[in-house]
Copies of this chain bind each other. A is one copy, B any other.
Amino acid sequence: MSIDYQSRWKRTVALMEQEGVDALFLMKPANLAYFTGDGRPCALALFTRKMECIVAVPECDLASVRRSSVATEIRAFRSEEELFHGFRDVLHTLNLMQSTIALEKNFFDAALHEVFTSHILPQARIVSASPITSQLRMFKDLSEIECLKVAGHVADEGMAAAARALRPGVRECDIAGEAEFAMRRAGAEGWSSATYVASGWRSAMAHGPASPKIIEAGEVVQVHLAPIALGYTVDLCRTFLIEPVAVETANALRAYLEAQERGIAAAVPGAALMGIDEAMAASLEQAGFGDGFLRPVFHGVGIEHEEAPIPGGHAVIHGEQKVEKVAAGMVLAIGNCGIYREHFGVRAEDTVWVTEQGPVAFTRHPKT
């Protein structure tokens, strides 16, 4: 399906006018991909209200960028100095030195931001780009949905391979290897997050990248996959029980899966966004697991592993705007928390498309 960049650009200009922004300065690969079709690292773009889109890339990348980018002008640089000085020249030519420029403040590190604002944009008014970029990228168009479906299928292939390989005596990193290999076979271009395989006591960790730990009988194993395909990513997590497991563990998993279903069911257009969180929390509370539960329970997903909408206080930490309502076109990873006890944790996470007809899951590996 072809991508309608003109329509993205027109919506961008409308938001720029609303926010009083003269130009967007983009360096985050996810935003470059969204605006130009080419999201390689070490590139930058300036997008103006007149729909000029000037991209700069390493000289050696010129030919390949021309294949995939819809930028109106493509420039080359041969060093980082040339990159930033060239950018200053562009601002000069376009008479934007004293304008309002939106920067990706949740991508620039604080050190680079300081260099940038004092040396490259000393006279400009600097604002955050995320009110514009997130407002656009939060609502997926149908070409994006096609990519996300493929990424969901890739993740399912990986989870099926992990499930086949799981048994006592195998190391976590071997399970990760089987899952990744199957996802590469299915066309994965990479990973938007580390592959987590966390067994036994490691499953109680909020973040559990695969380690050389050997999986043993009676353990819980969390497997968490985030492949990239066609430039898009999904989140998929499943918890496997290597029998014989304690009754408490099986009960916790059952309660979590039930709560996740309630969370997904709450993702309907017009509902309160934090209602997803509240639905899961209420369900776990009722099942007696309200205490070992880490929030928030969801986040947006798309070109990036974690993108708008980001819930509640988490939004501020991520330099994102608070979003009040669920809306059609959002794609959410729901179940991003878990029930944790001292020696184990259970979790399930799926990537879901919010539509007027109800939530549609892109990840479909069986839950039990």
Residues of A within 8 A of B (CB): 40-42, 58-64, 67, 78-81, 103, 105-115, 128, 130, 171, 173-174, 176-178, 180-181, 183-185, 187-191, 194-195, 201-202, 204-207, 209-212, 292, 294-295, 313-314, 316-319, 338, 340, 342-343, 345
Contact = CB atoms under 8 A, between A and B. Distances in A.
B180 A177 contact: yes
B190 A209 contact: yes
Contact of A63 (B81, B109, B201, B212): B201
A184 B190 contact: no
Contacts of A184: 173-174, 176-177, 180, 210
A59 B294 contact: yes
B206 A61 contact: yes
Contact of A316 (B115, B174, B185): B115
A69 B41 CA distance: 34
A265 to B, nearest CB: 24
12 contacts: A59-B340, A61-B206, A62-B342, A63-B201, A63-B204, A64-B204, A64-B205, A105-B110, A108-B110, A110-B110, A176-B190, A178-B181
Contacts of A210: 184, 189-190
A107 B111 CA distance: 8
A60 B204 contact: yes
Contacts of A174: 184-185
Contact of A80 (B171, B180, B191, B313): B313
B201 A173 contact: no
Query: Of A184, A209, A316, which is in contact with the most chain B CB atoms at under 10 Å from its CB?
Result: A184
A81 B313 CA distance: 7
Contacts of A178: 181
A204 B61 contact: yes
Nearest to A319: B111
Contacts of A319: 109-112
B115 A105 contact: no
Nearest to A174: B184
A313 to B, nearest CB: 5
Contacts of A128: 111
A236 to B, nearest CB: 17
Nearest to A183: B177
Given A42-B207, A176-B184, A109 B106 contact: yes
A294 B78 contact: yes
Contact of A61 (B59, B112, B205, B313): B205
Nearest to A63: B342
Contacts of A113: 110, 113
Contact of A187 (B195, B209, B212): B212
Contact of A181 (B81, B180, B209): B180
Nearest to A29: B207
Contacts of A105: 109-111, 114
A237 to B, nearest CB: 15
A145 B110 CA distance: 31
Nearest to A339: B60
A38 to B, nearest CB: 10
A74 to B, nearest CB: 14
A150 to B, nearest CB: 11
A210 B188 CA distance: 9
A210 B294 CA distance: 35
Given A106-B109, A107-B109, A115 B317 contact: yes
